[in-house]
Chains A and B, each alone.
Chain A
Amino acid sequence: MEDINQKRAESAQVILRMTGIGKSFLGIRVLRGIDLSATAGEVHAVVGENGAGKSTLMKILAGVHQPDEGTVEIGGETRSFAHPVEAQRAGVAIIYQEFNLLPERSVADNVFLGREPTRRGLVDRAAMDEATSRLLDELDEHSFGPRALVKDLSVAQQQVVEIVKALSVDARIVVMDEPTAALAEHEVELLYRLIRRLQGRGIAVLYISHRLREVFDLADRVTVLKDGAHVATVPAKDVTTGELVKMMVGRELDAYFPAKAEESAIGEVRLTVRGGGNGKLDGIDLELRAGEIVGVAGLQGSGRSSLVKAIFGAEPFTRGEMTPARPASVRAGVAAGIGLVTEDRKAEGLALNQSVRDNALLVARAIGHRSRTTVSDLLRRVQLAPPRQETEVKYLSGGNQQKVVLAKWLTVSPKVLLFDEPTRGVDVGAKAAIHDLMRELANAGTAILMISSELPELIGMSDRIVVLRDGRVAGQLPAGSSEEAVMALAAADGVAA
């Protein structure tokens, strides 16, 4: 590995070299001996499970934390940043998962926030607009202009604003933290193009993602971290997904997805929708049976989330028939035995300041259900580790938080469980645990409907795939359909609905 590192590093101009980085918080070592380098025009992926130390390492690069040991060299110069502004001046730009944009201000205002060009003491808006639109042009982005308000932009467009911001400070190193987490499938392509443009400008891109497919699509090299230590740095073309996963979790996740349902295991009909519609959906026909996992595919805006919210009663159907009776409210949905694991667990799934226990019991308490299982049994079932009941959920990793959301629904043993992006922002190990649990629930007779933007997950988990387009069912596909077939149906390229 060392050899490859050195050869690559010497062949191109090294922009970033972090050597022997170590960091402890309150005497607990979270990073030790981490080496990471990046060359001009390189996309360097950093992967690892949650808690592996990726965020801490990036925060050290960004000047948020100071390393206890090791050095950071940028452009051959050793630097130490006492403050994020210093890192920014040195050419490090970080695009966090949650964007740092002011929704009520214009694109140009955001790009130049805090360093507005002035003319005779006043902010020179013309100069700001001009510089911003020049950068937008360079990125080939014409769908919005410098005076558009950020709140009116899509998530993908907001990401472009973040990138423009990075370019406007002449960043040489751009760190992207899970950039596709909030993007729809077709927007991911656009992001790829943007990243290639950054590469073309000689910028080193550090790419953090849980989605290994993106890593293979984009990265030149991959650095794997595990438990705060450096596992390996390898050229992306020299490893397979399986090898990477093994490096990340330290074990082989051979059966990436649990086995599909047997024909005989699929039982009675648990839910039917006939001609269901509301403001966002129309003519939805759907049937869910006990024991099966039905995947829902579709582009952003195709009505996937609206569908599960309608079935659940959060944004009820106003037309059509449903068995059990169309729920008019969430409580009616819960009473009818329907549960929803929401897409955004922090905003919609959990009360973050409350304990694991209080969150796990929230649904049961809300509907006055006296569960027979104890909380510790529940936590064992969802494999929460460590199973501490009194910890506030905000301190848990994404995977553990999702397990708590699941536990919340298990208390009332729902007949139908709806999942909206069940493993978004969840590390590989927890992902497998959640997949196993979903299959286990199905085998025990729960009917499961699952939305996923990650096609491998959708195909790997589903016994049947329903594809939505423009609020309607565009078609159904059997288990094991190809990604191309799903995308073709979702985007209506040639295939009739």
Chain B
Amino acid sequence: MKRAIPIFVVLAGLLVAIAVANPFFLEPAGFLAFLKRVAPLAILAAGQYFVIVSGEFDLSVGSLVTVEVVVAARLIDGDEAMTWPVLILLVVIGLLVGLVNGLVTTKLRVPSFITTLGAMLILSGAVFLWTGGAPRGALSQGFRVFGREGVWAVAILVVVVIAAVLLMRADFGRTLVAAGDNEKAARLSGVRVDRVRVFAFVLSGLSAAVAGILLGGFAGVSAQVGQSLEFQAITAVVLGGVVLGGGRGHVVAAIAGAFTLEALFTLLNLHGISGALEYAVQGVIIIAAVAVGGLRLPSLRLSPSKV
């Protein structure tokens, strides 16, 4: 957990800066609006965390979010009665995509970077084919309430955070991290490495489904709704001090990374800096975070044999 301290300090600093620039932020409505905006990315970051800490990547979540929203709009088409069946279908789609990603990665031994890059392209292509570039249909009010009403979004976020923390404390989480740290040692200790990794991908797919449900209500239906979210999620996780390659980092810190990223975007926005800069900012952050993580101040380390 010590690695996670810097991210909370940075986050606190950014929140103060936002509050200074925009006092409305301190009012319940203002803060709720912020939480509502953060929720989808925070949930995606939690899902991405499971995959990254096990030593893999999931690049497919952005496209998956788009798929979820587009499918929801088309199937619901404004019909309130379809809300719950479609919600269930969306969750199933998320779980299935995650399952396929996981199985291809572990059983066919395709590196997850390639597996999920492929999945990302397949899903984007499918959306394009199905919609011809312009999604049809409309979401129901019952569907949009989750992303639109701050209370709902926050409630879902809280549930996700609690579930993620509990999972990481359970046998699953501990063996997942061990597998990410040293796959061979984990295997020789009886850990079902493939199974825990597949489960991590499934959780990531599930997080994309939930994020898609929130974003559909929050941002509306478009073929770009999930664009580049996979990179935002990875940036958030890395920002939280989670090491690419697996085995190190805390899920709460990864979620805090999502808050920090969103706070940064908010602050840039408040100061009238173009949203177009967001990509560049993310690029700088992801490189800097990994570089700083690699530095780790050698002079502060005692010789290992002293403990």
Contact = CB atoms under 8 A, between A and B. Distances in A.
B303 interface: yes
Nearest to B243: A353
Interface residues of B, number: 26
A329 to B, nearest CB: 9
Interface secondary structure of B, over-half rule = helix
A53 to B, nearest CB: 9
B303 A354 contact: no
B205 interface: no
Nearest to A345: B185
Interface string A163-200: 00000000000000000000000000000000000000
B189 A25 contact: no
A395 B304 contact: yes
A349 B188 contact: yes
Contacts of B303: 25, 30, 55-56
Nearest to B178: A351
Residue of B192, B300, B303 most packed against chain A (CB within 10 A)? B303
Contacts of A367: 190
B190 A334 contact: yes
Contacts of B184: 347-348
Interface in A343-381: 347-354, 358-359, 361-363, 365-368
B191 A26 contact: no
B188 A350 contact: no
Contacts of B188: 312, 314, 330, 340, 342, 348-349
A393 B303 CA distance: 13
A113 B187 CA distance: 36
A36 B191 CA distance: 48
Nearest to B172: A365
A408 interface: yes
A362 B175 CA distance: 7
A366 B192 contact: yes
A353 B304 CA distance: 13
Interface string B64-101: 00000000000000000000000000000000000000
Interface string B168-194: 000100110110011011111111100
Contacts of B107: none
Given A348-B185, A368-B171, A30 B306 contact: yes
A28 B302 contact: yes
A353 B248 contact: yes
Contacts of A28: 302, 306
Contacts of A330: 187-190
Contacts of A363: 189-190
A400 interface: yes
B274 interface: no
A397 interface: yes
Given A28-B302, A354-B247, A391-B307, A366 B186 contact: yes
Contact of B181 (A312, A353, A400): A353
A13 B209 CA distance: 76
A340 B184 CA distance: 13
A18 to B, nearest CB: 18
Nearest to B246: A353
Contact of A362 (B174, B247, B300, B304): B174
A420 to B, nearest CB: 11
Contacts of B190: 330-331, 333-334, 363, 366-367
Contacts of A26: 299-300, 302
Nearest to A399: B305
A394 interface: yes
Contacts of B191: 362, 365-366
B178 A397 contact: no
Contacts of B174: 358, 361-362, 365
Which among B174, B175, B185, B300 has the highest number of chain A CB atoms within 10 Å? Answer: B185
Contacts of B178: 351, 354, 358-359, 362
Q: Which 10 A-B pairs have the closest CB atoms?
A: A351-B181, A366-B190, A365-B171, A366-B191, A334-B190, A351-B178, A395-B307, A351-B182, A51-B305, A362-B189
Interface of A: 25-26, 28, 30, 50-51, 55-56, 312, 314, 330-331, 333-334, 340, 342, 347-354, 358-359, 361-363, 365-368, 386, 388, 391, 394-398, 400, 408
19 contacts: A25-B303, A30-B302, A30-B303, A333-B190, A349-B188, A351-B178, A351-B247, A352-B181, A353-B248, A354-B177, A354-B181, A361-B174, A362-B174, A365-B171, A365-B175, A365-B191, A366-B192, A391-B307, A397-B307
